[in-house]
Amino acid sequence: MVQSVYDHTNSRQVAQVVNQIVQAIDSATGNVNLANTATSTTVSNPKVTTASSIYLQPRNANAVTSGAYVSTISTGSFVIAHASATTVRTFDYLIYSA
């Protein structure tokens, strides 16, 4: 959990809070290529919990038309359902956990 800044003039405290925010966000993002000739792709990430929200952002034109969506969220991973294809379809993802 990120602590609050109680004294904005205390540069050490501000730096500590900023570093905590960066660490929390750093491994909560990534990118994935959808598996070719398959209809699902599993992404493993320790930041994922059953209460997480996963946001996908297409990274190339093939990804835009893939029909991909997050079908399952489990502790440590999520599954993207999609049509089978032989093209490279890349997505960026963001894991949001309240």
For 30-42, how does the pLDDT look when each residue is reduced to its tens digit (9 = 90+)?
999 999 999 999 9
**Which is it for the CA torsion 26, 95, 62, 41, positive or negative?**
positive
Taking 70 as the threshold, does the pLDDT of residue 98 lie above it?
A: no
Residue 13 C-beta-side C-alpha neighbours within 13 Å: 8
Taking 70 as the threshold, does the pLDDT of residue 23 lie above it?
A: no
Strand pairing report for 29-33 and 40-44: unpaired
Q: Residue 24: its pLDDT value, please?
A: 63
* 46 and 76 Cβ atoms separated by less than 8 Å: yes
In degrees rounded to 5, what are phi and psi of residue 38? -130, 165
What does DSSP assign to residue 52? -
Mean pLDDT of 59-72: 96
Residue 15 pLDDT class (50, 70, 90 cuts): confident
Q: Residue 76: its pLDDT value, please?
A: 95
